[in-house]
Amino acid sequence: MEQLEQKIMQEGIVLNDNVLKVDSFLNHQVDPQLMLAIGKTFTSLFEAQGITKVLTLESSGIAPAVMAALQMNVPLIFARKRKSLTLKDDLYTEKIYSFTKQEESEVTVSRKFLAAEDRVLIIDDFLANGDAALGLARIVEQAGASVAGIGIVIEKAFQPGREKLIEHGYLVHSLARVASLTGGKVSFAPHPVTHA
């Protein structure tokens, strides 16, 4: 997605060879027009998959996921990382390790929002080692629902996440694929079409 790649080049900050900071448009401050374009792109990529729900992880995945859900006219569910007094029982739970935060979180989704007949599109802001997407996929599968696809806003193509998701048989589309962050510079990788 050229618009996203340009935004990364203009505003992304390379912190080291493994970390790209995009808090000016995705992870802290949100560029709504860019998120709308991202939602439209995800919709066109996954429209043949019969999506009934979009699932993401709070909080950075919510903006692109809500725009995709809006375009697809389906509900958005976001997995919660923090315990809630109102969300205690009947939960699907998974432990997910965050590469960026270097910590493990227990994430939850209420059982009432996922059903066996659902075809779920998982959307995540970053793909590094694949742990977040795989954790969300396990939640979908706990519900007996099916993962219709995984949409990634920014993939770090130099890390093994895509390969792990492909090994599990998932359809994966990334909008921007970062080949390298070496020397403080972002370079992009080509976009393979991935079929499950």
DSSP state of 17: S
State which amino acid sits at residue 93: T
Report the pLDDT value the prediction gives residue 84, as an integer from 0 to 100.
Answer: 63
pTM of the model as a whole? 0.94
Report the pLDDT value the prediction gives residue 70, as an integer from 0 to 100.
Answer: 98
Interatomic CA distance for residues 179 and 186, integer angstroms: 8
Ranking 49-58, 93-102, 113-122, 145-154 by mean pLDDT, the lowest is: 93-102
Of the pLDDT bands very low, low, confident and very high (cuts 50, 70, 90), residue 93 is very high
Report the pLDDT value the prediction gives residue 89, as an integer from 0 to 100.
Answer: 72
Report the pLDDT value the prediction gives residue 99, as an integer from 0 to 100.
Answer: 72
CA atoms within 13 A on the CB side of 72: 29
pLDDT tens-digit series, residues 156-194? 999 999 999 999 999 999 999 999 999 999 999 998 765
Q: CB neighbours of 127 closer than 8 A, spacing ≥ 6?
A: 133, 152, 154, 155, 156, 159, 161, 162, 165, 172, 174
pLDDT tens-digit series, residues 26-57? 999 999 999 999 999 999 999 999 999 999 99
